[in-house]
Amino acid sequence: MINCRNIEWVNALKTIGIFAVILGHLSSPLSSFIFSWHMPLFFILAGFFIKSELSFQEFFLKDFKRLLIPYFIFALIGLCVEVIKRILLHRDSLNYVYELQGIFLGMDMRSLNHHYGFVLWFLPTLFFARLIIYSLQKKALNIVFQFIFVLVLFYTSFYIELPFAIDNAFNASLWVFLGFIFYKFYQENTFLYGLPVIGIMLFLFYGIPSLDMAVKSYSHSTVNILWAISILFIFMIILKKINYSAKTSYILELWGGNTMILFIMHPYTNNIASILGDKLRFGDWYLKYFISLFLLQILLFIKLKFSNRGIFKYV
């Protein structure tokens, strides 16, 4: 299986995705548009490289180390930072029992939204969603049956609440499945070039559909799905036709290849950017965005220097 770090258009797509995540969480005028497709993008990308040839133990352990260990480390760090901030600012203290239950049992957005670990719901959700799709591939079931199965999980997820973000994983499994099937079978299928047309038609009839995968909030599930994959396929069409220079490839490798740490750390840099913006009396979202990106670039350089040490080896 090809490593995604060696595919430039995939790195470019991941770079667009992480830039969108950072901007979306700064409450920019583009936020509603970004939210309509940015999380589906990452779940679809996560489906590209599911290695069904691995044994269950190999797959489980690899994803556990790559997704759940960073989740627990940075969720606890996020909680500690929030506690320190509340002490320094003389704010009400948290219910620590509730917060720890949220980290180790809930693992979803509702359980994590009182501290800087709120974005981490994505990691356990992705872990279990990938495990579901991997298991379907190991069973070698008919692709139609697989699609029906993940579709049932998807719609069931709206009516249940389960620990360990498993209901979110049911919801995300459809996106991961679409990514796996697209990358394995349909990359060059010319029929898919009609998706951008579908996206334009949806926009004309429905506008931009609202989507918040963290809380499973879809304005219209079918429209949301068609809209998101239409937007993503527009990006794919463009990015796959670009000839990337060595310098561009390096930048895409740096940002697209490190989306884990960027995703985890951008709430901190966005917060710093917002504080600086308010203190220096410039409230423009694009200036805050620039500051956050600048801080994250410094973080990437630090990670490159200490990539195999401390917490950096997990992200």
Confidence of residue 189 (pLDDT cuts 50, 70, 90): low
| Structural domain count of the chain | 1
**Section 112-135 average pLDDT:** 95
In terms of residue numbers, what domain contains 70?
Answer: 17-243
Percent of the chain topping pLDDT 90: 71
Is residue 206, in this structure, part of any structural domain at all? yes
pLDDT at residue 188, as a whole number: 66
**Section 15-22 average pLDDT:** 96
Is residue 285, in this structure, part of any structural domain at all? no
pLDDT at residue 43, as a whole number: 97
Is residue 271, in this structure, part of any structural domain at all? no
β strands within 133-226, DSSP E: 211-212, 217-218
Tokens 């770079």 appear where? 15
At 187 the three-state DSSP class reads coil
pLDDT at residue 126, as a whole number: 98
Residue 87 corresponds to which tokens in the numbers above? 């002490």
**Section 3-23 average pLDDT:** 85
What are the CB-based long-range contacts (under 8 Å, 24+) for 105-113? 105/163, 105/164, 106/163, 106/164, 106/165, 107/71, 107/163, 107/164, 107/165, 108/165, 108/167, 108/168, 108/214, 109/214, 109/215, 110/215, 112/75, 112/78
| Backbone torsions φ then ψ of 52, nearest 5 degrees | -70, -10
Which residues make beta-bridge pairs with 211?
Answer: 218
Is residue 306, in this structure, part of any structural domain at all? no
Is residue 272, in this structure, part of any structural domain at all? no
Is residue 153, in this structure, part of any structural domain at all? yes
pLDDT tens digits, 59-114: 999 999 999 999 999 999 999 999 999 999 888 989 999 999 999 999 999 999 99
Statement: residue 187 has pLDDT above 60:
yes
pLDDT at residue 75, as a whole number: 96
pLDDT at residue 2, as a whole number: 36
Is residue 103, in this structure, part of any structural domain at all? yes
Is residue 99, in this structure, part of any structural domain at all? yes
User: What number of other Cβ atoms are within 10 A of residue 235's Cβ?
Assistant: 16
Distance CA 72, CA 314 (A): 11
pLDDT at residue 5, as a whole number: 43
The chain-wide mean pLDDT, for the chain, equals 90
Statement: residue 255 has pLDDT above 90:
yes
